[in-house]
Structure formats: C-alpha cells, structure tokens
Amino acid sequence: MTRARPGPSAVRLALLFPELLGTYGDGGNARVLVQRLRWRGVAAEAVTVAVGRPVPDSCDLYLLGGGEDGPQTLAVRDLAAGGSLRRAVGAGAAVLAVCAGFQILGQRFAGEGGRPCDGLGLLDCTTIRGGGRRRIGELVVDPATELGLDVLTGYENHGGLTRLGPGTRPLGRVVAGHGNGTGDGTEGAVAGRVIGTYLHGPVLARNPGLADLLLAWVVGELPPLPPDGAWEPAVDRLRRQRLAAAGRLRRGAWAAAWPPLASRVRARLRPRGGG
C-alpha cells in the first residue's frame, strides 16, 4: 500500500540536516531518487531541511546521511523535539538513513564523548562504541531475499557497533567488510519502510535497485526506464568497479563462503556487449 498523495502532485523527498549529516556525500542520494523519477516522467521535488527549520511531516521519503558525533547529537535533538519524522513514518512515508543517520533512528547510540544518547526509536537497534577501532573500507552485502535486490556495495567508515533487536531485521549479510560490526554477519536494518545502513557511496548511486525499491514503496509500481538510457553504462560500470575492488580485498572468500553470491558477482564483473 503506497502513501496517498492528492492528485498529480510531485513526489516529495526531504534531505534532513545536510550541514550536520553530510560528511560523506550522502546528500547525493536525494539527487539519484529525483532523477530516477524524472527519467520515468514522474514529477519529483527535493526539499532540503536545514537545522533549526521545521521538518515537514508531509513528504513521501526522508533521507539522513553520515556525520560526526557532535553534529549527530544535535540532529537527533531537533528531530526528536518536533516529532515530524515519526508522524510521517506513521502515515506511510519511507526513510533511508546512512551511518550516523542509521544510529539516530535506533533506540540509543553513543553520542559526543561516548555518552549514551536516546535515538528516535524508529528502528529496534542499539549502537555502542567499537573500542576505538574504525571500520573502514569497501562493503559488499547479500541483501535479504524478501527485498528482491541485487548485491549491494558501498564504502563504510564508522566506529560504532550496532546490534539489532527482535523488532528489526537486517538489510542483508556481510560478504566483504564489517557492516554492523557485532560479529553476527549482519548489515543495516529494515523495519516497515525504514532502512538504515552503513553503506556510503552514495549508496543509491551504487545500487539503483535499492533506489527503485524505496520509490516503489511510495509511488507503487514504477514505470519502466526508457530503453538504452545514456546513464545505464555509467551505473553498470560503477557497480562492476566497486565489486571488483571489494573482491581484490577478499580474494577467494566469496567462493568459499557464499557460492551462489560468488556466481552473481562474477556475472556482474563480465564485460557487457563486448566491452
């Protein structure tokens, strides 16, 4: 069931507090979503919400990115005070939150100085400090089967360890990298139409299938993209490059631990059309 929008109004996307949660370029996710709608002839509007400004509760999809501990703590205070994001989710809006944004959506996280800080409680997860060690590098994820997605890739850079509670399922299983970092092989979290992940990149530029999943949650069945779009080779080339980079870091690990995934990755790395 999609979120109802009156008449032919544009799909509205809200990029929240990019001056606080924009350290890793995750704001690019908003551009990806808008463009993938426009390619299909669907009107779209991206609203940038600055700190101190009211967060609208009428948008269809909300985006949060990564940031440092201090800005992260400021961001959650503003979001909790207004309650707009919680109301929007309750009304059917979708959310994509990356890294610090992912932690903000949980029950608690380690804020500035390592002090525990209450999150928004939109995801049943808790984040603690990871013993002073940062988890940095290419991250490859085999997504949960029910999501119907291809292999996910991204770049992680975080010091937190995120443990999922019973009310939240993982976005996928780690193949290369660290993900949630708790040793159980999970990456990210999904509850309803809310997704949290440690995948930077921006994640939607590297994983267009994930972008379309989010859009389908708020638009319904998406019209097909125009055939042979000029963007397709660039998107495919980016995915193949990132998968190859991760494969060099974990040579042989995919084939040993995840045979079905290894064959999917190898298929993605084959040149297309004689290229």
Q: What is the CATH number of the domain that holds 109?
A: 3.40.50.880
How many whole angstroms separate alpha carbon 172 and alpha carbon 152? Answer: 9
Contact predicate 22/53, CB 8 Å: no
Looking at the fold, whether 32 and 90 belong to one and the same domain comes out as: yes
Same domain, 161 and 262: no
Beta carbons within 10 angstroms of residue 220's beta carbon: 10
236, 211: one domain: no
- pLDDT value at position 264? 56
In sequence order, the β-bridge partners of residue 156 are 137
Supply the pLDDT for residue 225: 86
**Paired tokens of 153:** 């890739």
| Same-domain check for residues 162 and 255 | no
User: What local confidence, expressed as pLDDT, does residue 213 receive?
Assistant: 98
Examine residue 226 and state whether it is found in any structural domain, yes or no: no
What's the pLDDT at 130? 77
Q: Are residues 142 and 199 in the same domain?
A: yes
List, by residue number, the catalytic residues: 99, 200
Query: Would you say 119 and 109 are in contact if contact means Cβ atoms under 8 Å apart?
Result: yes
Residues 177 and 243 in one domain: no
Helices (H), the chain: 28-39, 69-82, 84-90, 100-105, 203-206, 208-219, 232-249, 253-257, 259-269
**Could you tell me if 49 and 79 lie in one domain?**
yes
* Tens of each residue's pLDDT in the chain, 275 residues: 455 554 458 999 999 999 999 999 999 999 999 999 999 999 999 999 999 999 999 999 999 999 998 999 999 999 999 899 999 999 999 999 999 999 999 999 998 877 899 999 999 999 998 777 889 999 999 999 999 999 999 999 999 999 999 999 999 999 989 999 999 999 999 999 999 999 999 999 999 999 999 999 999 999 888 776 666 677 777 777 777 776 664 544 444 444 455 455 555 544 443 33
pTM across the whole model: 0.87
Q: From residue 37, how far is each of 26, 29, 34, 125 by CA, in Å? A: 18, 13, 5, 31
- The pLDDT assigned to 82 comes to 87
**Structural domains of the chain, count:** 2
Is 58 a member of any domain?
yes
Domain of residue 113, residue span: 11-219
